[in-house]
Amino acid sequence: MSGGGGTGADRERAVDPLAASMARVAAGDRDAFGEVYDAVAPKVLAVTRAVLRNPSMAEEVTQEVLLEVWRQATRYDPSAGSVAAWATTIGHRRAVDRVRSVRAREDREDRVVAGEGRVEYDEVSEQVLQHEDESRVRKALTGLTELQREAVVMAYWGGRTSTEISAQLGVPVPTVKTRLRDGLQRLRVDLARGEPAAGSAS
């Protein structure tokens, strides 16, 4: 396989109905922002909750993210993905930054113990795979190998870099990257097949 090579320019992506609303938001239209909010806020909250696992912190970050959507509306580029993916990307980034800064503080306080990575993964994967049973997350993740799933869950849900995952699992960085990349490719293929207009309306 060629890493999804041929799918680039010739591939049509479904037009995101929210993109038109975003154009109005960019002109300061608050009604349009309300539409965008209603469509994306639940998704952003789902992402921040998944990463932060602290409901009030997740709400706080979601609020920041939605205001960021307002502030940066003029910079939204429809060719770079759906509004929902744009917003959840910002949400993930922010949630991860939050988690990392908390962790950095904890690290300074010497609270990291060997083997923590494994414990964390078990905890996160329990959350992801069981708490949200029947969800598409679960369905999608069950298509991965155990090792891919571990890497993807630690990265996306656990907010870990590949370097951190490598250190925690005691596995070389390139191996972690390979697992992550293969797992993400698989998710991308499976989810695209499941629902072509993923992330847009509904």
Partner 1 sequence: MSRTGPGDETSGGGDVSGYDDGVHGLTPLYAVDALDPQEAAAAEAHLRGCAECREELVEVREAMAAAVAGEPAEPPSAALRARVMAALDDVPQLPALPAPLAPGAAVSAPAAEPAAAPVDELSRRRAQHAADDRPSAARSGGATGRRAPRRWLQGLAAAAAAVVVAGAAVTGYAALQWRDEARAAQQVAQAMTEVAGAPDAQVVDAQGGADGWGGSRVMVSRSLGEAVLVPTGVEDAPSGRTWQLWFVAGDAARPAGTFSDTGSAAVLSGAVDGAEAVAVTLEPAGGSESPTTTPVAVYPLTA
Smallest distance from the beta carbon of 85 to partner 1, in angstroms? 4
Give whichever of 1 and 114 is closer to partner 1, judged by the CB atom.
1
Smallest distance from the beta carbon of 115 to partner 1, in angstroms? 21
User: What are the residue ranges of helices labelled H in the chain?
Assistant: 17-26, 30-52, 55-71, 83-108, 116-126, 136-141, 146-152, 162-169, 173-194
Contact by Cβ (8 Å): 162, 180:
yes
Give whichever of 122 and 195 is closer to partner 1, judged by the CB atom.
195
Give whichever of 120 and 182 is closer to partner 1, judged by the CB atom.
182
The first and second tokens of residue 185, run together, are 């490719």
Smallest distance from the beta carbon of 57 to partner 1, in angstroms? 13
Give dist(CA 37, CA 77) in Å, integer: 17
Smallest distance from the beta carbon of 42 to partner 1, in angstroms? 4
The first and second tokens of residue 91, run together, are 């949400």
Give whichever of 74 and 122 is closer to partner 1, judged by the CB atom.
74
